[in-house]
Amino acid sequence: MAKLKHLFSPIKIGKMELKNRVEFAPVTDNFGIDDYVTDRMIKFYEDRAKGGVGLINIGYFTVNYPHNPLGIGMYDDKFIPGIRKLTDACHAHGAKVGVELAFEENYAKRRGGPFEYIGPSDVATRAGKQRPRPLTTAEVEEIVEQFGDAARRAVEGGFDLIHILGSAGYPIAQFASPLTNRRTDKYGGSFEKRLLLHTEIIQSMKKKAGDDCIISWRMGGQDFMPGGNTLEDSVKIAQWLEKQGVQVINVTTGWHDSGVPFIQYFVPKGNWIFMGERIKKGINIPVIVGTRIVDPIMADKIIGEGRADMIYLARPLIADAELVNKAKEGRFDDIVPCTSCCLCFDAWSRTEPIYCQVNARAGRELELNIIPARQKKKVFVVGGGPGGMEAARVAGLRGHKVTLFEKSDKLGGALNAAGAPSVKDGVGYFREYLIKQMKKEGIEIKLNTEVENTIIEKERPDAVIVATGATPIIPDIPGVRGKNVVLAADVMGGKKSVGNKVVIVGGGMVGCELADFLHEEKGKSDITILEMLPKVAVDVGPTLRWVVRKRLNEFKIKIKTNARVSEITDKGVKSVCGGATEVFEADTVVIATGYEPWNKLVREIEGKAGVSVEAVGDCDKIARIAEAVESGFRAALKL
Question: Do β-strands 96-102 and 118-119 pair in parallel, antiparallel, or remain unpaired?
Answer: unpaired
**pLDDT value, residue 130:** 83
Domain coordinates in residue numbering, the chain: 11-349, 378-472+596-638, 485-593
Give the span between the Cα atoms of 353 and 38, in whole angstroms: 12
Give the span between the Cα atoms of 414 and 408, in whole angstroms: 12
Q: Is 494 exposed, middle or buried (0-12, 13-18, 19+ CB in 10 A)?
A: exposed
**pLDDT value, residue 363:** 97
**pLDDT value, residue 107:** 53
Q: In terms of Cα–Cα distance, which of 217, 216, 172, 178 is closest to 197?
A: 172
Give the span between the Cα atoms of 498 and 590, in whole angstroms: 8
Is CATH 3.40.50.720 the classification given to domain 378-472+596-638?
Answer: yes
Q: In terms of Cα–Cα distance, which of 24, 132, 27 is closest to 71?
A: 27
Count, residues in the chain: 639
Q: Report which DSSP code applies to 130.
A: P
Give the span between the Cα atoms of 79 and 66, in whole angstroms: 12
**pLDDT value, residue 550:** 97
**pLDDT value, residue 112:** 59
Q: In terms of Cα–Cα distance, which of 165, 150, 42 is closest to 97?
A: 42
Q: In terms of Cα–Cα distance, which of 107, 102, 111, 112 is closest to 130?
A: 107
CATH of domain 485-593: 3.50.50.60
- Cis-peptide, bond into residue 433, ω within 30° of zero: no
Mean pLDDT of residues grouped by 10 in the chain (639 residues)? 87 97 96 96 98 96 86 95 98 98 70 75 88 94 97 98 96 96 97 98 98 97 97 98 98 96 97 98 98 95 98 98 97 97 94 97 97 96 98 98 97 95 96 98 97 89 95 96 96 95 97 97 97 96 97 97 96 92 97 94 78 92 96 97
Which CA distances in Å does 538 have to 49, 257, 349, 548, 597?
A: 38, 21, 16, 11, 21
- Those residues whose C-beta lies under 8 Å from the C-beta of residue 255, and which sit 6 or more positions away, are 125, 168, 169, 173, 220, 223, 224, 225, 228
CATH of domain 11-349: 3.20.20.70
C-beta neighbour count of 350 within 10 angstroms: 11
Q: With residue 367 as reference, give the H or E element that holds it.
A: none
